[in-house]
């Protein structure tokens, strides 16, 4: 049961290949840490997987849907937390979440149920009516995670989501993601520079110059590096 399959993916910026023939298959229900130095191609991969960029070569299949041939269907199965905060600061937490739910065509009652459950799980239900501007960095990240999961994606992408967060918020995020992987069988691709976060993953994938350098359990990969 495959959540995500990348097959010889190539993305060039001019002469430079940011993704240089990347192949990777991830099963359902897997928490994957994506490691790699700056310039390895992590952001480019996320840009391709969120439909912002089109790959030059290769295939992406998300939950059985081919990104090239059925982009809208494939992208419905992707959730993302970008590196940069991407909430509307002047709108309430609830309005931010409802906007996303509407984009994904969720019925209102289902959106209500999920956004309350999500915020409750992360301890931010009391903030639903507040403008995002009043929330701490950690709580903003939590809102972004609730949003990314509202449409129940098969694949959740997180681009260094814990940068700048306190240890408690970091643990809360990790815990919520683990719970989603266990409860729904989602697959999480978590880009990080932190070895301790990679060690908490089921699987570690290392990118280098747009290719797979290593792929295995945290113990295998740290031994190989
Ligand atoms: P990170 O490793 O944290 O993703 P980068 O510096 O590689 O940081 O990239 C930050 C942003 O800048 C990305 O969105 C990337 O697409 C863009 N970027 C990186 N390198 C270049 C470049 N040479 N020219 C234009 N944009 C770039
Ligand atoms: P990472 O997120 O792992 O740091 P990126 O995907 O940002 O890696 O970058 C991969 C390579 O592509 C780097 O050499 C970077 O400079 C280059 N790059 C990234 N974005 C752009 C862009 N928009 N234009 C030109 N080059 C880019």
> Which of 13, 43, 164 has the most ligand 1 atoms within 8 A of CB, as the residue to mutate?
43
Q: Which residues line the pocket of ligand 1, CB cutoff 6 A?
A: 38-39, 43
pLDDT at 223: 81
pLDDT at 190: 95
CA nearest ligand 2 atom 21, residue: 13
Counting as low any pLDDT under 70, the low residues of the chain are none
Whether complex ipTM tops 0.90: no
pLDDT at 196: 80
Centroid of ligand 2 to alpha carbon of 156 (angstroms): 21
Q: Which residues line the pocket of ligand 2, CB cutoff 6 A?
A: 13, 16, 18, 36, 38-44
Q: What is the 3 state secondary structure string of the chain? A: CEEEEEEEEEEEECCEEEEEEEEEEEECCCEEEEECCCCCCHHHHHHHHCCCCCCCEEEEEECCEECCCCHHHHHCCEEEECCCCCCCCCCEHHHHHHHHHHHCCCCHHHHHHHHHHHHHHCCCHHHCCCEHHHCCHHHHHHHHHHHHHCCCCCEEEEECCCCCCCHHHHHHHHHHHHHHHHHHCCEEEEECCCHHHHHCCCEEEEEECCEEEEEECHHHHHHHC
């Amino acid at each position: 049961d495959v959540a995500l399959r990348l097959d010889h993916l190539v993305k060039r910026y001019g002469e430079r290949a940011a993704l240089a023939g990347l192949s990777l298959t991830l099963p359902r229900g897997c928490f994957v840490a994506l490691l790699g130095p700056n310039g390895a191609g992590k952001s480019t991969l996320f840009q391709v997987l969120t439909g912002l960029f089109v790959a030059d070569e290769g295939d992406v299949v998300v939950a059985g849907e081919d990104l090239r041939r059925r982009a809208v269907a494939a992208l419905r199965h992707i959730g993302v937390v970008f590196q940069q905060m991407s909430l509307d600061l002047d709108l309430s937490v609830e309005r931010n979440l409802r906007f996303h739910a509407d984009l994904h065509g969720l019925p209102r009652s289902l959106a209500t149920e999920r956004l309350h459950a999500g915020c409750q799980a992360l301890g931010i239900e009391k903030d639903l009516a507040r403008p995002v501007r009043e929330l701490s960095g950690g709580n903003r990240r939590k809102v972004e995670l609730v949003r990314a999961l509202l449409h129940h994606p098969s694949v959740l992408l997180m681009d260094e989501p814990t940068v700048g967060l306190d240890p408690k918020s970091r643990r809360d995020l990790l815990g919520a993601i683990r719970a989603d992987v266990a409860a729904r069988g989602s697959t999480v691709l978590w880009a990080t520079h932190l070895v301790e976060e990679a060690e908490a993953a089921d699987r570690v994938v290392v990118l280098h110059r747009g290719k797979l350098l290593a792929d295995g359990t945290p113990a295998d990969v740290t031994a190989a590096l």
